[in-house]
Amino acid sequence: MVENIYKPHRVRIEEKRQETYDTTSFKLVFVDDEIRENFTYRAGNFGEYSVFGEGESTFCISSAPAEDGSIQCSFKLLGRVTHALRRLDVGDRLGFRGPYGNWFPLEEFKGRRVVIVGGGIGIAPLRPVIQTLVAEPAAYDGIHLLGAARTAADLPYMAEFDQWSEIEGVEVTLAVDPGGESADWTGRVGLAPNVLKELNPSARNAVALCCGPPIMIRFTALALKELAFDPASTYTTLENRMKCGIGKCGRCNAGPFYVCKDGPVLTLAEMAELPDDM
């Protein structure tokens, strides 16, 4: 019997958390004990999340591997499937296919300074990296986190940023676009690339990661280049063109390159080799 590569595993919502007015996080547990005990993935992998009868959406696994075998995801309300996901609650079941794609080479980051710039929901794929780094901060030559969003209300994981800022060796900066600050805002005001240049992190022995809206990634990449970061040690992750997750639909390909199979994690040096529309 031929295996159905599109058949999802059943997962149960164990926790539901509202990150912002339009962004929700789930903690998911596999219903099948054997799958839960043997499931493995790495920071940067993504999956296909389905609501039965509604369809499926592609987004990252937003948590580092956990001892209990659970996974987490965060999604922003954008269409039919994400609205259906939002209506689900603790105890409800959905489908998951994955893990797919490549991952961030975390072992190569040890002993180096790590600079992470995330914008809005783009912080989600960087969250497993952050969780891994802050669990062992002494293994790195400094950890610098810049979390940015259009407005204060659009910035997810605020409680976690507060926790991360208390860890020795971790520097946290939060920023919102001009006009996006709230009455009690105490972070920076400015576009993420500009705030990054103001912070002026050293590129010596450093690796950088950035993810967010495409326009933010583009200008953050330019800012990192201006700060002398090596494009071969600067990573981003792409998700917005993926659909099937396994290279069958052709939606994310550019010539022989498929984001879902050859990505979604890429260095800026690798990005420079792709067509401009990527």
pLDDT for position 136 = 97
Task: At 31, list the tokens.
Answer: 């219903």
108: nearest Cα among 145, 137, 134, 140: 140
Contacts with 193 (C-beta within 8 Å, 6 or more apart), sequence order:
216, 219, 220, 222, 223
C-alpha to C-alpha distance for 50 and 235, rounded to whole angstroms: 28
> Residue 158: which H helix or E strand, with range?
helix 158-165
DSSP string, 17-31: EEEETTEEEEEEEES
260: nearest Cα among 272, 269, 247, 249: 247
Return the number of other C-beta atoms located less than 10 Å from residue 117's C-beta.
32
Contact 24, 5 (CB under 8 A): no
pLDDT for position 276 = 66
Domains of the chain are 9-100 (2.40.30.10), 106-237 (3.40.50.80)
Rounded to a whole number of angstroms, the distance between the first and last alpha carbons of the chain is: 38
Residue 51 pairs in a beta bridge with 55
Blockwise average pLDDT, block size 10, the chain, 278 residues: 82 98 98 94 97 94 95 96 97 97 97 98 98 98 98 98 98 98 96 98 98 95 97 91 87 86 94 75
DSSP string, 79-129: SHHHHHHHH--TT-EEEEEEEES----GGGGTTSEEEEEEEGGGGGGGHHH
